[in-house]
C-alpha cells in the first residue's frame, strides 16, 4: 500500500515550474487567486496541512499556531525573512520552520545598487520630466545630482546581502563603511578597504549614503529613529531594501520634508502594503513595491529550496534551511 502523500498548502501563487513540481511530489493545494489569506483562512490552512508553504504576507503568530492541527509539522517559508512567523512558539509546538536563504542575495544587492545610483543622480525625476514633456534642452545647471565616486557608503548589517552591496559599491568608487554586531572577516575588510564602526551613531553622522541590510527583530525595530536620523548629514541619502520596520517612517518623512536629509530610496515599508502618505510624491524619494528580489530566476530558486526542505523533512532528515530561534 503506497504511503500517504503529505498535504501541502501553499498560501500564494508561486512560479509555474515550482507549483508543477509541488503537485508532482505532494498532495498540494494551491492558492489560485493569489490573494493573501485572511486570518480565518490561514487558521483553516494550518488546521488541515501537514506542511504550510508560507510567505511574508502570512502573519503566523501564536493565535494561528494554536489552531494548528496535530498533522502540521513543517512551515516552509518561501522567503529568507521569517519575522512574520512566531518561530519560537512553532518550535515549542514541535513544528519545524525553514526558509530560503542565499538565493536572493545578488538580486537584492542589484536593486539596492540601482537605488544608490538613481536617488543621488535624480534619475527618477528625469524620467518623470521626460514623461511629462518638460525637457526643453540641456542647461549647465539643470537637474544636477551628486557624484558617487569618493562618497562614503555606510552599510547597516554586513551579512550576505550587505557584503554583496559592498562589492558592487566598491566598483563604483564608493568608500565602504559598515556597522554590524561584530566585524566581518579580515580578508574581506582588506579586499574592500572597509571600515568597521562599533558605534552606529558615529557612523551615521559621517556617511553620505546609508543602506539598510539588517533583519527586523525586536532589537532593530525603529533602529533608525528620529534621533538617529537627525545625526545624519543634510546632504545624505538613505536606502532601505531590508525591512520597513527598521526605519521610523514618520520620522523619515519629517526629515525629508524639512530638508534634513537629501533623499531616500525605499523598497520596503513599515506597514506594507500601506505606505506613509507623507512619503508619497516627494521629488527626492523613490518608492518601489517590494520588488528587490523579484527576478524569475530568484523566485524559481526559492521554490526549489522550499521543495528540498519539504522533501528532506518528509524523508525523516533535518531540512538544510531550518530556522533556529535565538532563545528556546
* R_g (Cα) of the chain, nearest Å: 22
Three-state secondary structure call for residue 20: helix
pLDDT of 325: 85
Q: Which of 93, 152, 222, 290 is catalytic?
A: 290
Are residues 99 and 127 part of one domain? no
Distance between CA atoms of 173 and 62, rounded to whole angstroms?
47
Contact 219, 243 (CB under 8 A): no
| Shared-domain flag, residues 89 and 119 | no
Residues 121, 189, single domain; the answer is yes
Query: What range does the domain containing 66 cover?
Result: 7-103+296-314
Claim to verify: residue 38 and residue 171 sit in the same structural domain: no
Q: How far apart are CA 299 and CA 69, in angstroms?
A: 29
Any domain includes 321: no
Distance (Å, whole) CA 305 – CA 167: 25
* Helix H or strand E encompassing 238: strand 237-240
Tell me whether residue 304 is in a domain. yes
12 and 118 in a single domain? The answer is: no
Q: In tens digits, what is the pLDDT along the chain, a chain of 328 residues? A: 456 799 999 999 999 999 999 999 999 999 999 999 999 999 999 999 999 999 999 999 999 999 999 999 999 999 988 999 999 999 999 999 999 999 999 999 999 999 999 999 999 999 999 999 999 999 999 999 999 999 999 999 999 999 999 999 999 999 999 999 999 999 999 999 999 999 999 999 999 999 999 999 899 999 999 999 999 999 999 999 999 999 999 999 999 999 999 999 999 999 999 999 999 999 999 999 999 999 999 999 999 999 999 999 999 999 999 999 865 4
In a domain, 283, yes or no: yes
DSSP 137-158: ---TTSS-----TT-EEEEE--
190 and 276 belong to one structural domain: yes
User: What pLDDT, on the 0 to 100 scale, is given for residue 4?
Assistant: 78
What is the dihedral angle through the alpha carbons of 187, 184, 159, 296, rounded to the nearest 10 degrees? Answer: 0
The catalytic residue among 243, 245, 249, 301 is 243
Catalytic annotation on 245?
Answer: no
Q: Is 243 a catalytic residue?
A: yes
301 in any annotated domain: yes
Cell representation of residue 157: 548589517
pLDDT score of 3: 63
Q: Do residues 214 and 259 share a domain?
A: yes
Angstrom distances, CA of residue 91 to CA of 42, 88, 96, 216: 18, 5, 6, 19
Residue at 203 is within a domain:
yes
Instruction: Report how far residue 114's alpha carbon sits from residue 292's, in angstroms, rounded to the nearest whole number.
Output: 10
> Are 23 and 63 in the same domain?
yes
* CATH code for the domain of 257: 3.40.50.720
Cβ atoms of 180 and 157 closer than 8 Å: yes
CA 160/CA 100 separation, integer angstroms: 13
Q: State residue 2's pLDDT score.
A: 52
Q: Are residues 54 and 134 in the same domain?
A: no
**Residue 327: inside a domain:** no
Domain termination site, one of 270, 287, 304: 287
How many CA atoms within 13 Å lie on the side-chain side of 321? 25
Answer yes or no: do 117 and 73 share one domain: no
Alpha helices in the chain (DSSP H): 16-25, 39-48, 62-65, 87-92, 105-121, 123-131, 160-171, 186-192, 200-204, 226-231, 249-257, 296-314
Name the domain count of the chain: 2
Q: How far is CA 184 from CA 99, 189, 322, in A?
A: 23, 7, 23
Q: What does pTM read for this prediction?
A: 0.88
User: Do 112 and 99 reside in the same domain of the chain?
Assistant: no
- 119 and 266, same domain (yes or no): yes
Amino acid at each position: 500500500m503506497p504511503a500517504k502523500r503529505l498535504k501541502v498548502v501553499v498560501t500564494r501563487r508561486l512560479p509555474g515550474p515550482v507549483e508543477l513540481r509541488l503537485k508532482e511530489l505532494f498532495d498540494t493545494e494551491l492558492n489560485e487567486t493569489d490573494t493573501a489569506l485572511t486570518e480565518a483562512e490561514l487558521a483553516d490552512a494550518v488546521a488541515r496541512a501537514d506542511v504550510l508553504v508560507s510567505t511574508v504576507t502570512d502573519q503566523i503568530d501564536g493565535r494561528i499556531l494554536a489552531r494548528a492541527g496535530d498533522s502540521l509539522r513543517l512551515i516552509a517559508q518561501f522567503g529568507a525573512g521569517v519575522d512574520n512567523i512566531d518561530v519560537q512558539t512553532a518550535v515549542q509546538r514541535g513544528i519545524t520552520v525553514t526558509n530560503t536563504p542565499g538565493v536572493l542575495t545578488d538580486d537584492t544587492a542589484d536593486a539596492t545598487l540601482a537605488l544608490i545610483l538613481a536617488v543621488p543622480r535624480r534619475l527618477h525625476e528625469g524620467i518623470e520630466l521626460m514623461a511629462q514633456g518638460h525637457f526643453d534642452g540641456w542647461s549647465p545647471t539643470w537637474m544636477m545630482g551628486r557624484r558617487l565616486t569618493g562618497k562614503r557608503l555606510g552599510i547597516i548589517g554586513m551579512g550576505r546581502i550587505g557584503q554583496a552591496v559592498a562589492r558592487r559599491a566598491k566598483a563604483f568608487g564608493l568608500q565602504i563603511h559598515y556597522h554590524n554586531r561584530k566585524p566581518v572577516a579580515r580578508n574581506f575588510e582588506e579586499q574592500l578597504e572597509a571600515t568597521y564602526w562599533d558605534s552606529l551613531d558615529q557612523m551615521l553622522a559621517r556617511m553620505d549614503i546609508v543602506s539598510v541590510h539588517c533583519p527586523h527583530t525586536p532589537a532593530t525595530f525603529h533602529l533608525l529613529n528620529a534621533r538617529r536620523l537627525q545625526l545624519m548629514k543634510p546632504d545624505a541619502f538613505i536606502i532601505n531594501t531590508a525591512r520597513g520596520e527598521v526605519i521610523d517612517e514618520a520620522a523619515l518623512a519629517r526629515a525629508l520634508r524639512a530638508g534634513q536629509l537629501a533623499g531616500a530610496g525605499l523598497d520596503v515599508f513599515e506597514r506594507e502594503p500601506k505606505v506613509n502618505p507623507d512619503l508619497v510624491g516627494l521629488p527626492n524619494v523613490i518608492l518601489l513595491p517590494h520588488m528587490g528580489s523579484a527576478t524569475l530566476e530568484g523566485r524559481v530558486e526559492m521554490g526549489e529550496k522550499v521543495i528540498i526542505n519539504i522533501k528532506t523533512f518528509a524523508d525523516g532528515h533535518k531540512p538544510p534551511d531550518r530556522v533556529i530561534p535565538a532563545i528556546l
